[in-house]
Structure 1
């Protein structure tokens, strides 16, 4: 009997807990959430083995089944959570301004001008408009905002 086999036999169910904690520790070092589900499964098998006398073959089969099931459920859960969270316009700042109404501080002439929004000065394109005109951002074209005249009832 090798030293590893003897150690596992002596530790009994606690060997599953140790394996689970090692896998959870590995999860911290590795990207993704793959080892998390294996670690949780190992801890569950260890907990079950504390109350029920399991052979190592039975414990291994339960571990494999739990790992597969928790991996499938966990991946679906993480995909659902990641699609609901976050800012879809994070890497396209200008897309946040589409539909918003602003007041031109300087005239828009020859189809080009500038617009101050929050702490940023944006280059804008659109029809020639005088200063003080309400404009609506309709789209983003690269690093430029495309604007049009907004109706007078629109709030800036």
Structure 2
């Protein structure tokens, strides 16, 4: 096959595609393009071993091998232990449970605001005057549930 004035074997084209896909995976990681790259490299190896395969056959092999590799990767990913050292890392409200905070807008009829760090959060709980220290016992979205400390 001629490409850019150079004769390329089918295997070399598949390896070039594999390299491009692996580089794309490194630039925009999503842990999917690596399987496409592995499928292209596999077809490249087959094309070198068995030269002269029709492009349609190579494309079908690419689809089948990539599908198999994706299935194997998905299976491995589901079985691997992905426990986190900090499971509440992205759940700021849950991380606040147990902390003592100060009421900055009186909690009246169950609604008010509390100071957390340098910000104020909506809060629900028993009535409390400004300046009262309360303890966070839970969260409903971004609304903290508090009780007297």
Q: Sort the TM-score into its range (normalised by shorter chain).
A: 0.5 to 0.7
Cα separation, partners in 2 of 1:30 and 1:104, compared to 1, 3 Å: closer
Flag structure 2 segments of 5+ consecutive residues without an equivalent. none
Deviations along 1:27-62, whole A, 9 cap, x unmatched? 679996554312212213324555xx31426x8365
Is structure 2 residue 62 aligned with structure 1 residue 66?
no
User: Residue in 1 aligned with 2:19?
Assistant: 21
Task: Tell me the alpha carbon deviations over residues 4-27 of structure 1, each in whole angstroms, 9 at most, x when there is no partner.
Answer: 7xx77x525323212323444666
Aligned length: 139
Greater helix share, structure number: 1
> 2:125 aligned with 1:126, yes or no?
yes
CA distance in 1, matches of 2:11, 2:19: 13
Matched, 1:114 2:110: no
CA distance in 2, matches of 1:113, 1:141: 14
1:149 aligns to 2:145 (yes or no): no
Q: 1:37 and 2:32 equivalent?
A: no
Structure 1 unpaired stretches of 5+: 151-156
Q: What TM-score, normalized by structure 2, do the two folds share? A: 0.59
The structural deviation recorded for 1:128 is 2.8
Q: Give the distance between the partners of 2:63 and 2:142, measured in 1 at CA.
A: 51
Q: Which residue of 2 aligns with 1:54?
A: 50
Structure 2 CA distance for partners of 1:28 and 1:125, relative to 1, 3 Å: same
Q: Is the 8 A contact 2:25 2:33 kept in 1?
A: yes
Equivalent residues of 1:15, 1:46 under 8 A apart = yes
CA distance in 2 between partners of 1:21 and 1:124 (Å): 53
- Backbone CA RMSD of aligned residues: 4.2
Which SS does the other structure have where 1:100 is aligned? coil
Aligned counterpart, 1:153: none
- Measured after TM superposition, the shift of residue 70 of structure 1 is 0.8
